[in-house]
Amino acid sequence: MKARHVDILRIVNEKQKVEVTELAEALSVSGVTIRKDLDAMEEKGLLRREHGYACAVSSDDINNRLAYNYEVKARIARAAAEIVEDGETVMIESGSSCAMLAEILANERRDVNIITNSAFIADYVRHIGTNGITLLGGDYQRESQVMIGPLVRICAREFFVDKLFMGTDGFIPQVGFTCSDLSRAEAMRNLAESARKVMILTDSTKFSQQGVVLQMRFDKVHTVFTDEGISESATKILQKNHVELVLA
């Protein structure tokens, strides 16, 4: 994403609704340039347009999560992308940081195949590069735009990869990582059975939140990619449980 797009997203998310002329003035560019930027960002679902205005995404779907805290998530995705080589096949579960990771791999790696249960991610990168995308079958969950259910397990069994990347909704210090949805948590565990290493991408705010369903115990997680806002106590818990921590 262009640096100016990051600035636009920050302003729009802070104010919720901003005049196009105000954005142009704040960023010292023409109205034509701003409108082109907004068109591109709306196409990605990062904001929405109204006549003369740019508005924050207000729905509770993945587009909203993608727009929130974008700069931090982009750094996390960039750090995770560093460990993926040309020609590698990886699994990527749904989530905003994971979508950004898929975008980086599609743009910057050669012959990388992405296996995912996320219809959103498959669509998000479909126009980028020539890398392969394998979308696993299952029951379609509308809000998160992922495939869930027994078909995911059946499809995932046909593959084995070195790395699975996934997001998370929360953290329990005594147990591990949590999810807010039982079906999604089950799909994540099914994918994990087909990977040698499970990697979690999450901004540090998730370490102060707790989901209602156990997603992954510490002993099943190899690496966590997060930002420097992670607390000292959470860092010590990860270290105690032999989880590698990468700060972006």
Which pair of structure tokens corresponds to residue 59? 């729905």
% of residues, the chain, pLDDT over 90: 66
% of residues, the chain, pLDDT over 70: 95
pLDDT at 78: 96
pLDDT at 62: 60
Q: How confident is the model at residue 70 (pLDDT cuts 50, 70, 90)?
A: confident
- Average pLDDT of 129-156? 90
Whether residues 119 and 225 share a domain: the answer is yes
> Domain of 122: which CATH number?
3.40.50.1360
Whether residues 182 and 216 share a domain: the answer is yes
List, for residues 160-202, the tens digit of each pLDDT value: 999 999 999 999 999 999 998 999 999 999 999 999 999 999 9
Domain of 49 in residue numbering reads as 3-58
Indicate if the pLDDT at residue 57 is higher than 80: no
Whether residues 103 and 184 share a domain: the answer is yes
Whether residues 155 and 41 share a domain: the answer is no
Indicate if the pLDDT at residue 80 is higher than 90: yes
Identify the top-confidence range among 24-28, 36-40, 65-69, 229-233.
Answer: 229-233
Whether residues 17 and 140 share a domain: the answer is no
- CA distance readout (Å), 131 to 104, 139, 166: 11, 25, 20
Whether residues 72 and 168 share a domain: the answer is yes
Indicate if the pLDDT at residue 89 is higher than 80: yes
**Higher confidence at residue 43 or residue 27?**
27
Whether residues 50 and 72 share a domain: the answer is no
Neighbour count for residue 55 (Cβ, 10 Å): 16
What is the count of structural domains for the chain? 2
Which of 133, 74, 130 shows the shortest CA–CA distance to 98? 74
> Domain of 27: which CATH number?
1.10.10.10
Whether residues 21 and 107 share a domain: the answer is no
Tell me the pTM: 0.79
Indicate if the pLDDT at residue 12 is higher than 90: no
Whether residues 87 and 206 share a domain: the answer is yes
Whether residues 239 and 133 share a domain: the answer is yes
Q: How confident is the model at residue 233 (pLDDT cuts 50, 70, 90)?
A: very high
